[in-house]
Amino acid sequence: MSRFARFAPSIAALVLLGVPIVAYLAADGGRIALLGFSLRAPDFGLLAAAPTAIQIHVAAALTALAIGIVLLAGIKGTRLHRALGWIWVLAMGTTAVSSFFIHTINPDGPAGLSFIHLISGWTVVSLPMAVHAARRHRVQAHRRAMTGMFVGGLIVAGALTFLPGRLMWAIFFS
């Protein structure tokens, strides 16, 4: 497998994320400029004032992101990989479950859930399946599942938190 082929799913996910964002910005007609975008120091007071579920969600997601980068960049199958892998599974599980207590996108929807909660449901189902694959030495299935959760559950979902009107947008850009 070439080095490019290894990153093809990640590149495809970024393209799939970028196309809707570019389409949104193109259809926006300049209204995004009215949101008061400006580069400045982050206002972490907004995160401190957020509900506990959001604080837990952000802490778990950042933990999973940091550990995930180390796991993807490091040597696979070592004791360190396994130990960090279990911590990553715990952090991802916490991130996914805590998201079900966040209802800011669609408060009037069914149970306050939105389309983004589909990623959380997918993560809750995929995590044990990926661990089971690793324990059965099905390395390819484990790699695909974990890489998919990293890209979809952390990178794509994380990028969506930076859309205008969301908390991360407010912390970093308004």
> H helices within 74-109, ranges in order?
79-99
Neighbour tally for 149: CB within 10 Å? 23
Residues 6+ apart with CB under 8 A from 8: none
Kindly report, residue by residue over 2-59, the tens digit of the pLDDT: 666 777 777 777 777 777 776 766 666 666 656 666 667 889 999 999 999 999 999 9
Kindly report, residue by residue over 135-173, the tens digit of the pLDDT: 999 999 999 999 999 998 899 889 888 888 889 988 988
Q: What is the pTM of this model?
A: 0.76
Cα of first residue to Cα of last residue in the chain, in angstroms, is 44
**What is the DSSP secondary structure assignment for residue 109, as one 8-state letter?**
S
From the list 89, 71, 73, the residue with the least C-alpha distance to 130 is: 89
Lowest mean pLDDT among 39-43, 73-77, 86-90, 158-162: 39-43
Distance between CA atoms of residues 31 and 66, nearest Å: 34
Distance between CA atoms of residues 58 and 161, nearest Å: 10
Domain ranges of the chain: 3-173
Distance between CA atoms of residues 112 and 133, nearest Å: 33
Q: Are 64 and 91 in contact (CB under 8 A)?
A: yes
From the list 159, 11, 87, the residue with the least C-alpha distance to 2 is: 11
Helix pair angle (117-135, 79-99), 10° resolution:
150
Give Cα 4 to chain centroid, integer Å.
23
